Amino acid sequence: MPRFLKKLVNKQVITALLILIQLGVIVWFFYRLSQFFVYIYIALVLLSLFIVIYIINRPDNPSYKLSWSILILTIPFVGGVLYLILGGKRIPKEFRKEMIQSDNKKAPYLIQDYFIFDKIQAIDPQLLKQSRYLYKNAYFPVFENSDTHFLPTGEEKFDAMLEQLKQAKHYIFLEYFILNEGFMWEQIFTILKTKVAQGVDVRVIYDDFGSYKLPKDFIKKNNAVGIKTVVFNPLRPRLAIFMNNRDHRKICVVDGLVGFVGGINIADEYINVIERFGHWKDSAVMIKGEAVWSLIVMFLTFYHSITKIQEDILSFKPQYDAIYDDGFVQPFADSPTDEEFVGESVHLNIINYAKDYLYIQTPYLVIGHNILSALGGAAKNGVDVRLMLPHVPDKWYVQMVSRSNYEVLLKSGVKIYEYEPGFIHSKTMISDDVVGSVGTVNMDYRSYYMHFECGILFIQSKTIHQVKHDFLMTQQECVEITLEDVQKTNVLVKLVSAILNMFSALL
């Protein structure tokens, strides 16, 4: 079958088409209804107006509220109905209940050593606020006896991951947004089969939307050789906001002693075996020691919520005998099942902490007023703020929205660089050689509000210095974007970008 036909008949496209058909039917139905019954039209318009008032008074992101308000008022005869179906960010009650229960179950397993808080307080009270926030609101403690190593490319992460998988004796946990068959998966699959034969407990979670290219028999094939494989939130052709809540996390845990977190999925473009958008620049971090325990709890609570399996999570906790001295390490997770925007808060806290410099790598810059003003404010206060984004986009419309934010940032003194060889997928943020994060959280609305995400906060860790070195080396391969460059942008491009930006919170 020709390549373009394969794209047209894949599950993701078919599901999207069926959802669009449902959406079209709803719009057509209410349009015809409003044409023939004037009182119904008035009722629908009034409903839309009341919903706009409701949206404006909700404690949501202002950009999200603006996007929906514009959409509803543009098509008032059906806008309110669409919001009731799609706009409430609702997750099915049963799933929300399971995830909230899972979150609550973390509390007995993840206990903070408050002497560590005292040590962070002695370094800087502002840093303690960040760590205390993550523990009090996301249930994830900060650890001291841990070691970290930054992996600046997909190739390095893949090699390190294979080495650790080969050493597994008890269990292997893999959780990825994108899992595609190819060279990368075949290498991993071969090791996993061998490990299962040796009695190792191997479990895999993948997101159905991100991994839509997988064959229908993928789970059956894995389970046949003993690899316990489950899919998160299977794609269904139904008009429901829950279809937007995806598992965007990337976690690998080996025996509870070693863990990996970062932007790198299991697909060949991430290690440049194949080329999609030029050279793929990505990163991850490997951690060892006590902080890995949070990744275990993170994975197993999610696995249990999907499979309904009940296990004693404490039975998976290893004995941590090694002694490490690498600052403070705090893995964390973010979930759309609550009203706590953990990923966004971590980013804001690091931005607001910066006094000397702030270096950020992100594939997207689809941000609201709070992040935009924080970045601009830091630069105006004399902080050396540098953003690094892709020059070659994976989604043209997202790049247009990202670039629509350039002018205001440049005028504030922020420096912007685009990675000329291709696409940057890294999600790193560091400040002042003191604090930083590496993880899966993009600077966009999906990561902040709709996806399940994870990351690691570092305080006085060598990973911060390694990320800084990688940023400065990568900067040499970038083109700096100036205010003059932005002001020369074609008027039509500016217009399209401005329109897309109005609805950026819905992209």
Please state the φ and ψ torsions of residue 486, each to the nearest 5 degrees.
Answer: -65, -40
CATH class of 93-334: alpha beta
Spatial CB neighbours of 436, under 8 Å, sequence gap ≥ 6: 350, 428, 429, 430, 457, 458, 461, 463, 464, 467
Q: Map out the domains of the chain as residue ranges.
A: 3-87, 93-334, 342-506
Opening angle at CA 270, ends 266 and 272, nearest 5: 130
Q: What is the pLDDT of residues 14-49, one digit of tens each?
A: 766 766 776 677 777 766 766 677 777 788 888 888
pLDDT at 366: 93
Structure tokens at 315: 């039975």
Mean pLDDT lowest among 48-52, 163-167, 406-410, 460-464: 48-52
Same fold, 93-334 and 342-506: yes
pLDDT at 350: 97
Q: What is the pLDDT of residues 229-263, one digit of tens each?
A: 999 988 766 655 566 788 999 999 999 999 999 99
Contact 371, 155 (CB under 8 A): no
Query: 337 vs 172, which has greater pLDDT?
Result: 172
What are the C-alpha distances in Å from 225 to residues 187, 232, 275?
15, 21, 31
pLDDT at 240: 58
Mean pLDDT lowest among 124-138, 157-171, 461-475: 124-138
Opening angle at CA 372, ends 261 and 68, nearest 5: 95
pLDDT at 205: 98
Cα 51 to the center of its chain, rounded Å: 29
pLDDT at 47: 86
Mean pLDDT lowest among 202-206, 308-312, 347-351: 308-312
pTM: 0.89
DSSP structural state of residue 337: T
pLDDT at 471: 98
Structure tokens at 142: 């900060």
> If one looks up domain 342-506 in CATH, what number appears?
3.30.870.10
Q: What is the pLDDT of residues 173-193, one digit of tens each?
A: 999 999 999 999 999 999 999
pLDDT at 7: 53
Q: Give the residue numbers annotated as catalytic, written as ranges.
A: 248, 250, 255, 425, 427, 432
Residue 411: pLDDT band (50, 70, 90) is very high
Q: Is the pLDDT of residue 473 over 80?
A: yes
Strand spans (E) along 321-444:
328-334, 357-361, 384-390, 415-419, 422-424, 428-431, 435-439
Q: What is the pLDDT of residues 356-372, one digit of tens each?
A: 999 999 999 999 889 99
Mean residue pLDDT across the chain: 89
Q: Is the pLDDT of residue 9 over 90?
A: no
pLDDT at 447: 93
pLDDT at 321: 86
Cα–Cα distance measured from residue 129 to residue 457, given in angstroms and rounded to the nearest whole number: 13
Q: Is the pLDDT of residue 129 over 60?
A: yes
Beta partners for residue 148, in sequence order? 287
Residue 400: pLDDT band (50, 70, 90) is very high
pLDDT at 407: 94
Structure tokens at 447: 């990561």
Cα–Cα distance measured from residue 105 to residue 335, given in angstroms and rounded to the nearest whole number: 15
